[in-house]
Chains A and B, each alone.
Chain A
Amino acid sequence: MAYSDKVLDHYNNPRNVGSLDKNDPNVGTGMVGAPECGDVMKLQLKVNPETGIIEDAKFKTFGCGSAIASSSLATEMLKGKTVEQALEIKNTAIVQELSLPPVKIHCSVLAEDAIKAAIADYKKKQSALQASQPVSK
């Protein structure tokens, strides 16, 4: 299958490959996968506790070119957004940006799922943190 130029660009020069400390309370980790093709995607984001803005995002994806490009683009889209804004990111935006063909739409869905999973993990950590901290007057 022919990949679009943008997919090839992200595939050959993936942005933000790597990992963040998953034990950091300001880091959220999302791990998702697609059984049909054996893809697995790990996406992490780090929120600045002062500003509430996502200041870093990393990913590591094993899978086809479209899955790698989708997660690479997703990390770029995350940076500079608040958590609430990040939740608004839809897979259709990834499909459009990368011109993904219909058979590869599930790759963009996977990236959206990874964002949601990472944010859910971050929120879980934050509420656990708040519950364990004494209320200051």
Chain B
Amino acid sequence: MEGTRCWQCGQPTAGALFCPSCNHLQQPTSDYYKFFGLPQKLNLDPGDLQKRFYSLSRQLHPDRFTRSTPTERQYSLEATAILNDGYRVLRDPVSRAEYVLRQRGFDVGEQRSKDVPPELLEEVFELNMALEELKVGDESAREQLEESRARFRSMRDEVDSQLQQLFVRYDESADQDSANAILQEIRGVLNRRRYIRNLVDQVERELAA
């Protein structure tokens, strides 16, 4: 991006969304962090992100491009899409972490079972057995489910505080190697979290039924 020049006036833009010389909208970057003008940190100030979002929304408002050239209108549509997608992804800590993982070349979402902690699998299995018993009308399973819900919720809280600590360590990491090692850890914790979230959802659904 550093070497790019304005499509309109030919001056260097230094990667800015609006040309510093003529103020025309440039082709937007698809990197959410760069788009919001943020360094790639896992801990973000939600208030700051929101301010940036509103400010960019104003700058990209369709009314401002009604008399623009087709090129600039096209860029404004692209930029608006990136703005909304990026805000949604960066606002949530988990999707933000998944985004950084993908950016850094980690696969997310299609893990094999070797990534899942065995004790968690046992837990899932037993829970499913209890859910099945409840479905066939065994009411004693309800109490067991309430216990499970409490346990899974505390597991989820524990995982969230683990993630929080890993975010801090990632943001403070000195070099690429240690950053990647922490991302690897984050990936594992996110897997665990996904599993636990499924459990919480499942139990809550059954208890509400």
Contact = CB atoms under 8 A, between A and B. Distances in A.
A113 B113 contact: yes
Nearest to A114: B113
Interface stretch (A1-9, A33-41, A69-77, A78-86): A33-41
Contacts of A109: 112
A62 B125 contact: yes
B110 A33 contact: no
A119 interface: no
A118 interface: no
A32 interface: yes
B128 A35 contact: no
A67 to B, nearest CB: 12
Interface in B109-139: 109-116, 118, 120-122, 124-125, 128
Interface residues of B, number: 22
Interface in A29-71: 31-36, 38, 40, 42, 60, 62
Contacts of A36: 109-111, 194
Nearest to A38: B198
B43 interface: no
Interface centre among A35, A40, A42 (most CB of B within 10 A): A35
A36 B193 CA distance: 11
B122 to A, nearest CB: 7
Contacts of B125: 31, 40, 42, 60, 62
Give the secondary structure class of B's interface: helix
A95 interface: no
Contacts of B191: 35
Interface residues of A, number: 17
Contacts of B198: 35, 38
A31 B121 contact: yes
A117 B116 CA distance: 13
B202 interface: yes
Contacts of B118: 31
A32 B195 contact: no
Interface centre among B109, B112, B116, B121 (most CB of A within 10 A): B112
B148 to A, nearest CB: 14
B122 A35 contact: no
Interface string B183-197: 000000001101100
Contacts of B114: 113
Interface of B: 109-116, 118, 120-122, 124-125, 128, 191-192, 194-195, 198-199, 202
Given A32-B116, A38-B198, 8 more contacts: A33-B124, A34-B112, A35-B191, A36-B110, A106-B112, A109-B112, A113-B113, A117-B113
7 contacts: A34-B113, A35-B115, A38-B198, A40-B125, A40-B128, A42-B125, A110-B113
Interface of A: 31-36, 38, 40, 42, 60, 62, 106, 109-110, 113-114, 117
